[in-house]
Amino acid sequence: MTQVAVRMTDISKHFGGVRALENVSLEVYAGEVHALLGGNGAGKSTILKVLNGVHVPTTGTIEVAGQKLDVHSPEASRAAGIAMNYQEMSLVPTLTVAQNVFLTREAKTGRGFINDAEAERKTAELFATLGVDVNPRALVGDLGAGQKQLTEIAKAISQDARVLVLDEPSTALAVSDVDRLFAFLRTLKEKGTAIIYVSHRMDEIARIADRATILRDGRHVITAPLSELPIETMIEHIVGRRSLGLADVERGDTTRGEALVELRGVSGRDKPVDVSLTLHRGEVLGLAGLLGSGRSSLARLVAGIDPMTAGSILIRGEPVRLRKPGDAIRAGIALVPEARATQGIIPAHSVASNMTLSVLDGVSQRGFVDESRVRDVTDTQIKRLSVKTASRDHAVSTLSGGNQQKVVIGKWLATDPDVLVLDEPTAGIDIGSKAEIIRLVRDLAATGKAILMISSELSELLTACDRIVVMADGRAHQDMLRGELDDPAEADNDIADRLQMAEQRLQIAIQDALTAGEEANHEYR
């Protein structure tokens, strides 16, 4: 008989008048990877925080390895053998990687002092087991998004837990790192560890999960083996209606206008390297490439966050120096950053406060904030973006990840920028919300805005963009029109099939760019 590692029965969780969970039951076996799926606001994060002791359930019971959890706290859950990797990350940027991995569980010397050397040794062993290269002595604040994600995963697995919860663990990982993570998870599975895996990437779920539970609107929809849940069926259960995912998004045509942004031989301190490109009014230009290719570095440079060390930038044909973000904002450039939790929102502040943060001058009079203007701006963006919130006065932290992202986008749309830079705008967002944001991107381009979009999801780039630049090692290797990735011979095929084939061609272009980058670096050395 299969051993039940976790049994959650009739779990409900209410926040005031909001019912986040209603009589949800979840059963996870020892030695299985159990996918937890659902759209934004479905209740995934809430039920995991209940399991991890962060939230106390309003009703319901939890059993771990047959033992009922009578105390609901992070300490009690940890003692029961539950470890969780948070999507938002729980790392302290001023501590080293090793100090974060063993935070509150530090090794001690014979005299009772904290033994950092031992923590560094154990952390190095963890990363060696995962097959990745992260320096245990590095400050977390100096790491890139991918290495921070690997540190968060190492922190979770270091607890030798019987139940491991991974919430969107691959969001910032390169494909090779995802492969190594999956290999390690299969090893844990063979040892009897129960793994709860949350991801919006259906291809990952198909590769790694044994069974899946789908939630919608705080309620249980279905639990079934993956063999009974093809991707189309999963999407149907998640969104509650038949959907083709991004394949049903109408791209439409836009009219390309004047050149709004020109980069001529632009380089940064490390990346980008000698990049030239032009972004036109009414155009969506995508940046494709793997983690570390220089896409985000280019976005930060255009937004005035990181300095330019060589080359020139022209806005509407005029040379500009973007020494700080304020320079870029005044030039009509707005950046929606990759790390929404730390760079895009102030979680404890209200939706209204976040929405108007970038336009305080416009909603103020004689140094005082005009609440009526705040309401007008906020309500306009909530309606425009279909933000799901109980009210404009609720804290952004109470919203789902997808709705938090909409608040970030709305905050910058309130400035009415000419150029919108979107860095992974749909990371950690369900399929339905992804389609909404892609449609919004297309609509914004149709109104004459220029959009520079970064995404690790190639299907998103293919659906949203008019042109795609492929990057590797900080350089732009290929600049192609979206239509170049289609094959006329496939014109009569199903739209989803055509999108899949175009994605394969774009993936090949990325691999070719990697090869070209390696050859260029070899010649340089």
CA distance linking residue 304 with residue 307, whole number of Å: 7
Q: Is the pLDDT of residue 89 over 70?
A: no
| 8 A C-beta contact, residue 303 and residue 325 | yes
Give the chain's domain count: 3
Domain contains 320: yes
pLDDT, tens digit, 9 for 90 and up, residues 238-296: 877 555 567 667 777 778 899 999 999 999 988 999 999 999 999 999 999 876 789 99
Domain contains 459: yes
pLDDT band of 60, cuts 50, 70, 90: very high
Per-residue pLDDT, 301: 96
CATH number of the domain bearing residue 58: 3.40.50.300
Domain contains 339: no
Same domain membership, residue 124 and residue 72:
yes
| For the chain, percent of residues with pLDDT exceeding 90 | 51
Average pLDDT over residues 312-341: 92
Average pLDDT over residues 10-14: 95
Per-residue pLDDT, 524: 43
Same domain membership, residue 377 and residue 300:
no
Same domain membership, residue 43 and residue 137:
yes
Average pLDDT over residues 320-327: 94
Query: 244, 260, 288 — which closes off a domain?
Result: 244
Query: 219, 244, 269 — which closes off a domain?
Result: 244
CA–CA distances in Å: residue 77 to residues 84, 165, 213, 415, 446: 10, 12, 21, 45, 50
Q: Which of 95-99, 107-111, 188-192, 243-247 has the highest mean pLDDT?
A: 95-99
- In what order do the strands lie in the sheet containing 211-216? 82-85, 163-167, 194-198, 33-37, 211-216, 219-225
Domain contains 359: yes
Same domain membership, residue 324 and residue 186:
no
Domain contains 511: yes
Average pLDDT over residues 457-482: 92
Tokens 């045509």 belong to which residue? 253
Half-sphere exposure of residue 178: CA atoms within 13 angstroms, side-chain side: 19
Same domain membership, residue 104 and residue 192:
yes
Same domain membership, residue 476 and residue 392:
no
Per-residue pLDDT, 411: 92
Mean per-residue pLDDT over the chain, rounded: 88
Cα radius of gyration rounded to whole Å, the chain: 24
pLDDT band of 520, cuts 50, 70, 90: low
Per-residue pLDDT, 245: 66
pLDDT, tens digit, 9 for 90 and up, residues 503-515: 888 888 887 887 7
Per-residue pLDDT, 1: 58
Per-residue pLDDT, 112: 84
Same domain membership, residue 474 and residue 433:
yes
Per-residue pLDDT, 313: 97
pTM greater than 0.95: no
Which residues span the domain enclosing 356? 347-416
Domain contains 337: no
Higher pLDDT, 242 or 349: 349
Per-residue pLDDT, 288: 93
CA distance linking residue 138 with residue 260, whole number of Å: 39
Which has the minimum average pLDDT: 131-135, 184-188, 493-497? Answer: 493-497
Average pLDDT over residues 489-497: 80
Same domain membership, residue 313 and residue 391:
no
